[in-house]
Structure 1
Amino acid sequence: MGMHFCLYVLLQGYIYRLVIEPGTSPNKMKYLTGGIGGRMSRFIVLEGIDGSGKSSVKKALPARLNLNNLVLTEEPTKSWLGDAVRRSHREKVNPFTEAFLFIADRAAHSDQIRDWLSRGNTVISDRYYHSTVAYQGAALEGKVDFDPVPWLLSINRKVSVEPDIVFFFKVDPEIALSRLKDRDELSKFEQIGFLRKVTANYDRLVDLCRNVIVIDAARPFEEVVLDVMSNLYGNI
């Protein structure tokens, strides 16, 4: 394949990808709609273990996308249900209770996401049901006599909106933890052994879920962002 260059152009509410091949005359330049334009609603989810860089990517995307109809959200949410989830992190709550707190928060969040999408917004969420399956699946491992991953996946899908794209930011847990070294205290989820189990569950979700794109998050931040941008315009 020959070398080519891509430019992204915002025009009348739509983003276009301009592909320029060496020697191509201006009248033969190809305009391809990226599909993430101002009049098309899309639901995009960013997933990965803590320290994978997904939250930093979410903060960087608005300036890159330059869309008026972009909604950024996250889980746990900032509602009282999300507060209950965060409280469960600090207290000794059994994994079943914690999983269902996440699901309750997600059910309410999904209603809000449906409303945003119905209004023509593009929604980007930092975490969604995949996090509960990966994290609570790891927490339940060895405590139940069944495989918790497909069980949690089935329950969560019943209350969720299926994303158009899920970006899984994959990074070795040791690298992820090194990025969290400035935190005063690591949570119960931010332990190397536990994060390895979570990563293994995310790997399973790549095969079990639709529209998952794996991003090598061990690379420099700018490379990661450009990879996400390229996949956004190539898949939506």
Structure 2
Amino acid sequence: VIRPLISEGSVVIADRFHDSTTAYQGFGRGLNAEAVNKINEIATGGTFPDITFYIKISVDESAKRKSKCNADLDRIERSNDNFYQKVIGGYEHLALEFPDRIKTINGERTPEEIHLDIVAKLKETMMIGIG
């Protein structure tokens, strides 16, 4: 689905992709890093994100927000704090390993502030005109 759009010159925005798989499965679930990378490569056809926004939020703040949500939680959303600490550690590791590509965003602010930060980082990184 993604590769044909990229081939056409489209910009593709995904809420989950390569880095989330690595953080959740590799770090969170403790799966073999080499296996996770190989699965990512197969699943994405070697497509790699140009930019990833790591929206950083504490486990406590995440729990507060989930408690306000009326929706049913999926299997991952029902995971314990230890799992989420590992996932956060995974994202932190990836952000340090790929600082030019992975942009850390303070997710404990308002949606409007987060949006403005993302737009600013897109302008800076991608050198594109966004209104």
Structure 1 position 216 matched with structure 2 position 126:
no
Task: Assess if the C-alpha contact under 8 Å between 1:189 and 1:195 holds in 2.
Answer: no
Percent identity over the alignment is 30
Partner of 1:193: 82
**Which structure 1 segments of 5+ residues have no match?**
1-111
**Which structure 2 segments of 5+ residues have no match?**
127-131
Matches within 5 A, 1:17-166: 112-137=1-26, 138-139=28-29, 141=30, 148-158=32-42, 159-166=45-52
**Amino acid paired to 1:189:** I
Partner of 2:95: 206
Larger Cα-atom Rg: 1
Taking a change above 3 Å as real, the CA distance of residues 205 and 157 of structure 1, as seen in their structure-2 partners, is farther
Task: Assess if the C-alpha contact under 8 Å between 2:52 and 2:103 holds in 1.
Answer: yes
Choose between structure 1 and 2: higher strand proportion: 1
Structure 1 position 234 matched with structure 2 position 121:
no
In structure 1, distance between residues paired with 2:83 and 2:70 = 18
SS across alignment from 1:125: coil
In angstroms, what is the RMSD of aligned CA positions? Answer: 2.0
Q: Which moved more, 1:215-224 or 1:183-192?
A: 183-192
In structure 2, distance between residues paired with 1:133 and 1:161 = 14
In structure 2, distance between residues paired with 1:177 and 1:153 = 29
**TM-score (structure 1 length as normaliser):** 0.46
Taking a change above 3 Å as real, the CA distance of residues 232 and 184 of structure 1, as seen in their structure-2 partners, is closer
- Alignment: residue pair count: 119
Choose between structure 1 and 2: higher helix proportion: 2
Please report how far the alpha carbon of residue 234 of structure 1 lies from its aligned counterpart in structure 2 after TM superposition: 0.8
